[in-house]
Copies of this chain bind each other. A is one copy, B any other.
């Protein structure tokens, strides 16, 4: 069984050094939150998710979710844990106080989400998707819908789902065909088959609230004709409690590579009763308002699975005795073998770099939503827009990479399911795919985000990294390699950025998108770790944890940051080499 110890100290350190959490807690919207209690809250969350939630991870993988007589059955071990989760209020951290939530900043909410996701990714998806539904409903729903559903969703007495995908409408959401016909009473009759519906059904709550994309009969084609509906599993009675069963059916469950405990449903809506959220044909616009949130949370999955996999590998490496390390006269734990140590340091450095990126983006979201003046909100919004695709794609790709390293650290045992590393490797693989594939994230970054404010948004971010040079210079020899490598890396990313933003060729920019995103993420990670090293340096002599922080930043600067240079030719290489081989010679060819 793999243990999980929430990294509360690194979480707090990142909140303070990267997210500047004090400035967020000082905002008027958070006047009800006592900054002095944050660390206690995190400690309490850490206890809950390590002791109560994490032990469900392995059994959830083994038993999975099952479909019996049209109902999804979760593992027995999940039911009491879900009850405790709801009672403890860990799903309501960021929910509106108006509807019973704690009204904490997103930045704090994400730290709790990080722990929940590390503890059990598959299980965490149920509250996570409910959170997306809450945001949509809170922002765009009528007062009546908000009053009927929000409190129950925030408490997770009921859960929410996101019902978007159809067989022919995956990345191309505009191809949605599910129909919504207006009834005389103002409700709608929803009909269609949806796929890949995460936690579309389960036995943990007495209602499930589906947020469904569908098309009214006279709607325009494509994304401009999509509307958003609330479709409860059980229609509400006049007193607000669940009554009659709606005609929403779980047709089948997918047999997946990982996250077995998360039921992925094919769902049939047969004239199901739905209630429109906001106005007709505005569904895609509403979805976009919560897209940054959802993508950030999937990026967080990369971080969370990386942290869990890293802890698991380090624990194994400390205990597994094999061979003699150089200079040792006795058999050694494999953590003493230098190539194993390289693997663990790579896991550590990337994981902490990801945490910096994710928390910075979360802080930007709080500034966007709660900043006191327009310039703060605008700066927060721009930063969030820029960092979201990077956080989603770079962190989920690193999650897969780190889970794979975790398998390798265990050697032969890495391939044995009971040892635990294999589950992380399987579970991690979903995150680069859903909530917009990583290829789509790269296109979003390069085609849209780089050109925000005529390139000024990305320039400001790179300026900020360059401005760190003065402080790094002041730190002297201790951080001279960090300083040196950061200067070189920024220069490479500047060159790539300029090339992309100066190019008039849409295909050339698209061709460079994926390697550019990797360059950008790699640089950003090095930047956050450099800031942390600067903050840790004064205490490094007295505190080995701080010294480790400095060493991790230096490790990253030498071993990981230079990868940007190897990616540059690929960004500026143009589309010709990607299209020169005709289809007939891709795949089996003679």
Q: Does A456 contact B (CB under 8 A)?
A: no
Stretch at the interface among A212-220, A372-380, A416-424: A416-424
Pairwise interchain contact A567-B570, C-beta atoms closer than 8 A: no
Check A422/B171 contact, CB under 8 A, given A568-B562, A582-B544. no
Q: Does A193 contact B (CB under 8 A)?
A: no
Q: Does A286 contact B (CB under 8 A)?
A: no
Check A345/B577 contact, CB under 8 A, given A314-B588, A589-B9. yes
Instruction: From B5, B318, B426, B565, give the contact of A562 (CB < 8 A).
Output: B565
Interchain CA distance A588-B417 in the complex, whole Å: 22
- Residues in B neighbouring A544, C-beta threshold 8 A: 582, 584-585
A301-329 vs B, CB cutoff 8 Å, 1 = contact: the mask equals 00000000011011101100111001100
Interchain CA distance A184-B171 in the complex, whole Å: 73
Instruction: From B256, B315, B558, give the contact of A416 (CB < 8 A).
Output: B256
In angstroms, how far is the closest chain B Cβ from the Cβ of A49? Answer: 13
Stretch at the interface among A242-250, A382-390, A403-411: A403-411
- Residues in B neighbouring A172, C-beta threshold 8 A: 322-323, 331
Stretch at the interface among A291-299, A362-370, A506-514: A506-514
A550-590 vs B, CB cutoff 8 Å, 1 = contact: the mask equals 01101100111011111111100101011111111111111
Q: Does A485 contact B (CB under 8 A)?
A: yes
Pairwise interchain contact B323-A590, C-beta atoms closer than 8 A: no
In angstroms, how far is the closest chain B Cβ from the Cβ of A541? Answer: 14
Interchain CA distance A351-B577 in the complex, whole Å: 17
Q: Does A271 contact B (CB under 8 A)?
A: no
Interchain CA distance A411-B434 in the complex, whole Å: 8
Check A165/B412 contact, CB under 8 A, given A429-B425, A548-B581, A570-B558. yes
For the side of the interface on A, what is the size category? Answer: 35 or more
Instruction: From B323, B562, B590, give the contact of A570 (CB < 8 A).
Output: B562
Instruction: From B318, B425, B560, give the contact of A257 (CB < 8 A).
Output: B425
**Complex interface residues of chain A between 497 and 554 (CB less than 8 A to chain B):** 506-507, 510-511, 513-515, 544-545, 547-548, 551-552, 554
Pairwise interchain contact B579-A170, C-beta atoms closer than 8 A: no
Pairwise interchain contact B437-A408, C-beta atoms closer than 8 A: yes
Q: Does A124 contact B (CB under 8 A)?
A: no
| A255, A407, A573, A588, most chain B CB atoms within 10 A | A588
- Residues in B neighbouring A8, C-beta threshold 8 A: 590
In angstroms, how far is the closest chain B Cβ from the Cβ of A352? Answer: 11
Pairwise interchain contact B562-A564, C-beta atoms closer than 8 A: no
Chain B minimum-CB-distance residue to A566: B566
Closest 9 CB pairs of A and B: A314-B587, A566-B566, A5-B588, A551-B580, A339-B439, A563-B566, A548-B585, A257-B422, A172-B323
Known A-B contacts: A257-B426, A415-B433, A558-B570. Give 7 more (CB < 8 A): A10-B589, A256-B417, A314-B586, A314-B588, A341-B579, A348-B586, A566-B566
